[in-house]
Amino acid sequence: MIEFGIKDALDVLLVASLLFYVYRLMKESRSLNIFVGIMLFVLIWLFVSQVLEMRLMGSILDKLVSVGVIALIVIFQEDIRRFLYEIGSQKGMRRLVRFFHSSKESQKEANKETIMPIVMACMSMAKKYVGALIVIERGVPLKDIMDTGEEIDAKINQRLIENIFFKNSPLHDGAMVVSNKRIMAAGCILPVSHNLDIPKELGLRHRAALGISQSSDAIAVIVSEETGRISVAIKGEFKLRLSAEELESILTQEML
């Protein structure tokens, strides 16, 4: 008779939670088909080696699994990096601390000082067809990204943002990084996403924005130089053709 205790139930719950988290991660990075294929292969391997006990086929699949683990690390290196980033960022703990130390209303007021200059600058640049890429740091530190650009460390200001992205400015081609309610750096280099599903009309700024949103929890705001449209990249997904109100709403919601 098989005994099923509390420890077994906890074991099943932990495995199910891990699989669900990996599924969600793969879905966000649009690698869901690969994840489903891997799970089917694992089920076939277990069925052949454990249920049918086919020694030859089982040994072949064992070898494929041992080699496949290394291949998966190479294929999913960005997803694994993001997974470890999210664990290390301790976002849940920070949210709990913020809950006890500050109310939502005071948090909203503090965020408005950060959000409104960015929104106003983006609207102004969009009207003039000035390209811009603004990255807002959240839980995952972006020190390595800041080090690729020029240090600024200034209070967030609409006029300063517009001057940074002015067409003749030496910093206008890179990304501006906002951290702790301050403009920390500009002219920064971002990791470019190689996702094949990105629409062809979106340029390098959008690919860089998607890249940083896939490798961290940062929010990337893009102003297109060609169309003057405003977009946001969050968690590996785009929100395109945003109005000022929509941009403000997204930033307010995501920064709480």
CATH number of the structural domain spanning residue 209: 3.40.1700.10
114 and 214, same domain (yes or no): yes
83 and 127, same domain (yes or no): no
* DSSP-derived secondary structure letter, 192: P
Extended strands (E) in 100-218: 132-136, 150-155, 175-179, 182-188
Residue 235 is assigned to a structural domain of this protein:
yes
146 and 37, same domain (yes or no): no
Residue 179 is assigned to a structural domain of this protein:
yes
Is pTM beyond 0.95? Reply is: no
Q: Which has the closest alpha carbon to 192: 172, 168, 210, 174?
A: 210
Of 72-76, 122-126, 144-148, give the lowest mean pLDDT range: 72-76
Residue 41 is assigned to a structural domain of this protein:
yes
Count structural domains, the chain. 2
For the segment 114-135, the average pLDDT, to the nearest whole number, is 94
pLDDT of the residue at 96:
47
112 and 213, same domain (yes or no): yes
* Domain encompassing residue 161: 103-254
Q: Where are the alpha helices (DSSP H) in 102-157?
A: 104-127, 143-146
Last residue of a domain, one of 57, 89, 121: 89
Tokens matching residue 139: 């839980």
Q: Decide if 138 contacts 219 (C-beta within 8 A).
A: yes
pLDDT of the residue at 170:
87
123 and 73, same domain (yes or no): no
Last residue of a domain, one of 89, 124, 159: 89
Of 118-122, 162-166, 191-195, give the lowest mean pLDDT range: 191-195
Give dist(CA 185, CA 79) in Å, integer: 26
